[in-house]
């Protein structure tokens, strides 16, 4: 079987640093037919956005980002040139282009065709659509690596997930439950039914009272073994007070506090960031927090993508889609994800299945 690959394609490209409405252009560019060792060419059916996409666009200087480049990491699509891999033309896959590869090759998910390492994709399970599968890799792998590599969560332990309705958080809920852990999760009240439907054992509405106050006044018994901040809080309070509700030897894992760099001048974001750095760095013998703080930085691991694929196929990890946007309307997708209010993945549909 062969596929008639066009010479040209439509692709969104980041042409300068800034807000997506200014930085992104829909352009006609060459289809990347020249493949390196281990690379395949994929016709993209759907691309899912992640906050890292607009954060890199907004903050990363041009000399590091090597623009113009196609943004975004997560995709589902059809293999149209398997090159030297074990894939075949027509295989339906899902996977991702990590940030380092995105920056070094200029290849991203928000284009009709993209080339990427074959080891970064797997065949898509039959029980999920391309739009659903596209949202899995980056966020679910972050959740998996946060809970396993960073926190070493074990069966029977209790984890508090801050942001049970964020993409990373909701996948963390599924994965922690699949591991046999007890899960307590937070979200705003409007998301309570949704977060409970994921299977959490207890829910906390963070908008009623600051989380650290709620947890200090109502400490869990026994204390949490793991706190996973799946939102990337810039306010360090949840960590600073964690001795009251995180067990000795327990671990606090963060997806990474990211202040709003556009309003650093005298902003609370800047003060909170400094306060977080001090809280993490201060040694215990100088009054520092007597609990470990760890950062999860998602990296591609074939075994992790395979584990996510198996959980998906078994129905233990369910894709949650917040909204689907047509390819020419990708800027609306950025508007949605930048609200920080999406419940599940914001997906751009690029081709029909
Ligand atoms: N370090 C890494 O490798 C890595 C990888 C992936 C993501 N991240 C970071 O992780 C964070 C989450 O990413 P994501 O894709 O999951 O984001 P997302 O899906 O866009 O998150 C949106 C959700 O966050 C919830 N939320 C917002 N503020 C909250 C708060 N203060 N407390 C609890 N929930 C809150 C919202 O629920 P409510 O409307 O109910 O508040 C909404 O449902 C981002 O900062 C991202 O950059 C880091």
Give the confidence band of 264 by pLDDT, cuts at 50, 70, 90: very low
Phi, psi (deg, nearest 5) at residue 121: -130, 160
Give the confidence band of 106 by pLDDT, cuts at 50, 70, 90: very high
* Protein residue with its CA nearest to atom 25 in ligand 1: 166
Query: 231: CA distance to ligand 1 center in Å?
Result: 4
Are 88 and 73 in contact, with CB atoms under 8 Å apart?
Answer: no
Domain limits of the chain? 8-136+319-349, 139-295
User: Mean pLDDT of all residues in the chain?
Assistant: 95
Q: Which CATH class for the 8-136+319-349 domain?
A: alpha beta
Whether ligand 1 lies within 6 angstroms of the CB of 256 is answered as: yes
Whether ligand 1 lies within 6 angstroms of the CB of 167 is answered as: yes
Q: Which CATH class for the 139-295 domain?
A: alpha beta
* pLDDT (tens digit per residue) in 314-337: 999 999 999 999 999 999 999 999
* Protein residue with its CA nearest to atom 32 in ligand 1: 163
* pLDDT (tens digit per residue) in 48-86: 999 999 999 999 998 888 899 999 999 999 999 999 999
Whether ligand 1 lies within 6 angstroms of the CB of 107 is answered as: no
Q: Is the pLDDT of residue 114 over 60?
A: yes
Whether ligand 1 lies within 6 angstroms of the CB of 342 is answered as: yes
pLDDT given at position 275: 86
Whether ligand 1 lies within 6 angstroms of the CB of 166 is answered as: yes
Between 273 and 260, residue with greater pLDDT: 273
Atom number of ligand 1 nearest to Cα 295: 1
pLDDT given at position 265: 44
Query: Minimal CA–CA distance to 79: which of 41, 119, 128, 125?
Result: 41
pLDDT given at position 303: 98
pLDDT given at position 2: 81
Number of separate helices (H) and strands (E) present in the chain:
13, 15
Whether ligand 1 lies within 6 angstroms of the CB of 207 is answered as: no
Q: Is the pLDDT of residue 266 over 70?
A: no
Distances (CA, A) of 201 to 41, 232, 236: 43, 22, 25
């Amino acid at each position: 079987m062969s596929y008639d690959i066009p010479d040209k394609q439509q692709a969104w490209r980041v042409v300068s640093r800034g807000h997506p409405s200014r930085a992104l252009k829909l352009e006609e560019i060459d289809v990347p037919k020249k493949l390196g060792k281990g690379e395949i060419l994929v016709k993209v059916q759907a691309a899912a956005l992640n906050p890292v996409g607009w954060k890199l666009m907004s903050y990363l200087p041009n000399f590091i980002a090597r623009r113009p480049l196609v943004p975004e990491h997560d995709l589902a699509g059809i293999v149209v040139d398997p090159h030297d891999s074990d894939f075949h033309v027509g295989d339906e896959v899902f996977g991702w282009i990590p940030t380092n590869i995105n920056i070094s090759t200029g290849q991203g998910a928000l284009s009709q065709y993209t080339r990427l390492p074959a080891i970064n994709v797997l065949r898509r399970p039959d029980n999920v659509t391309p739009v659903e599968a596209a949202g899995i890799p980056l966020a679910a792998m972050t959740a998996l690596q946060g809970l396993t590599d960073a926190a070493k969560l074990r069966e029977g332990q209790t984890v508090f997930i801050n942001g049970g309705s964020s993409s990373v958080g909701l996948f963390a809920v599924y994965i922690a439950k699949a591991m046999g852990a007890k899960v307590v999760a937070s979200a705003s009240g409007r998301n309570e039914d949704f977060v409970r439907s994921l299977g959490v054992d207890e829910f906390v509405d963070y908008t009623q009272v600051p989380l650290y106050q709620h947890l200090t006044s109502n400490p869990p018994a026994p204390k949490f073994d793991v706190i996973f901040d799946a939102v990337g809080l810039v306010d360090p309070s949840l960590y600073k007070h964690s001795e009251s509700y995180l067990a000795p030897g327990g671990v606090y894992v963060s997806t990474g506090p990211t202040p709003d760099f556009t309003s650093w001048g005298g902003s609370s974001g800047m003060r909170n960031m400094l306060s977080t750095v001090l809280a993490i760095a201060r040694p215990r013998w100088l009054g520092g927090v007597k609990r470990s703080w760890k950062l999860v930085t998602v990296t591609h691991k074939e075994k992790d993508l395979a584990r996510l694929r198996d959980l998906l196929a078994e129905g233990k990890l369910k894709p949650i889609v917040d909204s689907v946007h047509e390819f020419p309307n990708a800027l609306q997708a950025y508007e949605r994800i930048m609200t920080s209010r999406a419940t599940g993945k914001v997906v751009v549909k690029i081709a029909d299945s």
